[in-house]
Structure 1
Amino acid sequence: MNRLFSKSLCTSAAGANLKPPPADSAAIAKLILSSPSTTTHQSLDDQFLLSTETPWTPQLVNSVLKRLWNHGPKALQFFHLLDRHHREYIHAASSFDLAIDIAARLHLHTTVRSLIHRMRSLRLGPSPKTFAIVAERYVSAGKPDKAVKLFLNMHEQGCFQDLASFNTILDVLCKSKRVEKAYELFRALRGRFSADTVTYNVIVNGWCLIKRTPKALEVLKEMVERGINPNLTTYNTMLKGFFRAGQIRQAWEFFLEMKKRKCEIDVVTYTTVVHGFGVAGEINRARNVFDEMIREGVLPSVAT
């Protein structure tokens, strides 16, 4: 058992007397991690992994990849082993997305391109989700321009941009606090993709995340002027933005305006106000809002 991954054991003659391979992702991950080599596929070219008796499914493969998340090279070896050498199993698109995410996190850009090419050859994608994964990794690595370029060139890989993918790239940029870049892209392409409520909410949230509430209000105003109705998510985002920026008075006035306009106040709204007052040290006001919440029949959440 010293060489669990010996290539010589992969013959059909040897395989006839083998015990059924483990179908548990934890056991498989442990088996892979026990391999002494991280540089060649031979240590992974193993009877247990390549056996046709192994009940490989996308769910099992994905579970193994997730367990190997912090062991990126091993995870990719496992993925490539099945892709290149298993006689029957073909990876699902979701497994490719996980492998691409792992490779992108390790800055293995050649591997990312190779995996995307392989997806195309199998007609499994890439999908907008695939590009969102890579874009997010570019942004995390401090390369927002590459993320935008990737989005603009999606069609070259057979995946055409749509409103959903536009909203996704904006969200990725905003949540990484590259809001200026997101806003620039938003202004350039909002007409082409017919920006909707989700699009505007993403930008409002972006400005609120970096505590630039005046810009968020500008976007909210533009949203209304263009005939796009804000929803409760829009208002809750704006409310949270005021509290995040320490603008307690503006937050309270905005909350009162929401009630005046008969907005459907929900548990998120109340929780935001209670939490905002609590963080500001205004415990009595937080308690009063909490009591109002109960009177209005809104059940508190764990966060409240």
Structure 2
Amino acid sequence: MLKLKFNRFLPLLTPHRMQFQCLLSHKYSTTTPTSSQDLQKLCEIVSGGVGNLDDLEASLEHSNLNITPEIVTLVIDYCKAQAPNRRLLRFFSWSRKIPNCDKLGDGTFNQVIQIFAEKKDLMAMDILISDLQKEHRSMDSKTFSCVVESLVKSGREDEALRLFKNLDKFNCSKDRISLSVIVHALCSKGHARMAEGVVWRHKNKIPIEPCIYDSLLHGWCIHGNVKEVRRIVDEMKLLGICPGLLSYNAFLRCICDRNVKFNPSALVPEATNLMMEMRTSGVHPTAISFNILLSCLSRTRRVKEAYQILQWMKERGCSPDWVSYYIVVRLFYLTGRFGRGNRLVDQMIGEGLIPKARFYHDLIGVLCGVEEVRCALEMFERMKKSCVGDYGPVYDMLIPKLCRGGEFDKGRHLWDEAVEKGITLQCSSDILDPAKTEVFKPKGRAEKGSLEDSRRVVKMQKKCITNVKRMSKKKASSA
């Protein structure tokens, strides 16, 4: 009956009310018309009312609505994304004082805490957790996970540890789930030493799951301590736990990042040794593993080693993906090896590997950045042959670049081509007008040569002045 009543006026509903009607029809199809009207009015007061919090509570008091625990739950669920946090908190605090709702279930309480934890409203979350403890309510594992993650992400890991220690006061047991939650949250932000202390204190009471060791390994990798990561890996092997591909990739990234900072020449030897260890453990490196090494080689501009690793992947039976080719081709372009980069792109396409549009977008951006617009146009032609659609960002990049370089004819040609394809361009048509576009031409070799010549002349003048001073000193001493 209620559903038919709402469908009758559906064309008159705003999107805000349509969402309310959809929520009501799905979750509370058995709600009476009176309670549905109360529910709608409550949602309007909480989410769309005016005035301060005291005015909100006064409006709720004078509404004379029939408030039930079910309606409170539905209002919170509906208004969580629309109502301001403080209005939602004041409504929940007010509803707990109503005689019909003085016995709200623990589920509703936990639901509200989860909402404020997801919104990162730590003050509201602390207030509700304190009330939860005072009223001797139970905190479920999902709420504990949301609260701990919010605290750790906000830099309050000490409070997260304190909450874990006092779980008994919230009628929540310390088990494998809660231990894995606190360890994972701490390690996700690099607090591996703190997480390892928690594991050490509870290892005799709670069995340690393999996922906890994986979290510790990732935590030390985020921290950047290679020695501690090696220690965790050795402990896992002693316990018969084989690290997975994700753990080994995290270890590989940790080693490569350290070598990028301190010893770039050790990148390939140490990475290949770890990959050999992976194979002996039954974990075969994938293209993602090699891409970690290739990206670090690219950061240190080690062109020869990066190309050798790309060929070594094929010899080892690990087919490179488009990301692998992108890293090496980008390195070629950044170091001025445009011919080798183009040949490598043609080789990739010849092998039947069709990259995504992002591959061409980024490479064309790199070529424009190093003032190789001609190569960028050639890359765009390759993109048209092997990739369908998503040309708009490339046109928006190339047309201004050509016009600011003085090549207005080519820019006009690309503009007309985009219009014929029905592509909406973000750049303005004023860029095609030479009277409105300022031309910036890169410095040529002649200018660079003249600058070097002037520097040589200055050096020769300084040498002549020093020689004259020396000769004058010698004449003065001889006299």
TM-score in same-fold range (> 0.5): yes
- 1:38 maps to a residue whose letter is L
SS of alignment partner, residue 161 of structure 1: coil
- 2:213/2:236 contact within 8 Å kept: yes
1:168 to 177, 181, 184: 181
Alignment correspondent of 2:207: 194
Structure 1 residues 36 and 168: CA distance shift in structure 2, 3 A: same
In the alignment, structure 1 residue 111 sits paired with structure 2 residue 128 = yes
Q: 2 CA distance for matches of 1:57 and 1:286?
A: 61
Q: 2 CA distance for matches of 1:223 and 1:95?
A: 37
Alignment correspondent of 2:240: 227
Structure 1 residues 45 and 212: CA distance shift in structure 2, 3 A: same
Alignment correspondent of 2:108: 92
- 2:231 maps to a residue whose letter is E
Q: Deviations over 1:226-264 (max 9, x none)?
A: 333333333233223333434633333312332344315
Q: CA deviation at 1:64?
A: 2.9
In the alignment, structure 1 residue 146 sits paired with structure 2 residue 162 = no
Alignment correspondent of 2:4: none
In the alignment, structure 1 residue 284 sits paired with structure 2 residue 304 = no
- 2:89/2:124 contact within 8 Å kept: no
- 1:187 maps to a residue whose letter is W
Q: CA deviation at 1:137?
A: 3.9
Q: CA deviation at 1:35?
A: 2.6
Structure 1 residues 19 and 79: CA distance shift in structure 2, 3 A: closer
SS of alignment partner, residue 57 of structure 2: coil
Alignment correspondent of 2:216: 203
TM (normalized to structure 2)?
0.47
Q: CA deviation at 1:128?
A: 2.6
Q: 1 CA distance for matches of 2:253 and 2:78?
A: 36
Alignment correspondent of 2:77: 62
In the alignment, structure 1 residue 251 sits paired with structure 2 residue 284 = no
Q: 1 CA distance for matches of 2:238 and 2:176?
A: 20
Q: 1 CA distance for matches of 2:219 and 2:99?
A: 45
| Backbone CA RMSD of aligned residues | 4.4
1:183 to 196, 200, 214: 196
- Give the structure with the higher percent helix: 2
Q: 2 CA distance for matches of 1:58 and 1:286?
A: 58
Structure 1 residues 240 and 92: CA distance shift in structure 2, 3 A: farther
Structure 1 residues 104 and 117: CA distance shift in structure 2, 3 A: farther
Q: CA deviation at 1:60?
A: 7.1
The worse-fitting range, judged by mean Cα deviation, of 162-171 and 188-197 is 188-197
Q: 1 CA distance for matches of 2:259 and 2:194?
A: 25
Structure 1 residues 215 and 76: CA distance shift in structure 2, 3 A: same
In the alignment, structure 1 residue 262 sits paired with structure 2 residue 277 = no
Q: 1 CA distance for matches of 2:277 and 2:120?
A: 48
SS of alignment partner, residue 32 of structure 1: helix
SS of alignment partner, residue 60 of structure 2: coil
- 1:92 maps to a residue whose letter is T
- 1:50/1:86 contact within 8 Å kept: no
Structure 1 residues 112 and 20: CA distance shift in structure 2, 3 A: closer
Identity among equivalent pairs (%):
16
Stretches of structure 2 that go unaligned for 5 or more consecutive residues are 1-32, 261-266, 322-352, 360-479
Q: Deviations over 1:27-53 (max 9, x none)?
A: 958961543223464256289996679
After the TM superposition, which segments of 4 or more aligned residues of structure 1 sit over 6 Å from their partners?
Answer: 46-49, 299-304
The worse-fitting range, judged by mean Cα deviation, of 131-140 and 178-187 is 131-140
Q: 2 CA distance for matches of 1:211 and 1:180?
A: 12
Q: CA deviation at 1:197?
A: 0.9
TM (normalized to structure 1)?
0.69
- 1:243/1:251 contact within 8 Å kept: yes
- 1:62/1:94 contact within 8 Å kept: no
Q: Relative contact order: is structure 1 or structure 2 higher (C-alpha 8 Å, sep ≥ 6)?
A: 1
- 1:95 maps to a residue whose letter is Q
Q: Deviations over 1:42-69 (max 9, x none)?
A: 256289996679x95968743532444x
Q: 2 CA distance for matches of 1:111 and 1:293?
A: 53
Structure 1 residues 141 and 20: CA distance shift in structure 2, 3 A: closer
SS of alignment partner, residue 53 of structure 2: coil
Structure 1 residues 232 and 50: CA distance shift in structure 2, 3 A: farther
Report which of the two structures shows the higher radius of gyration computed on alpha carbons: 2
- 1:193 maps to a residue whose letter is I
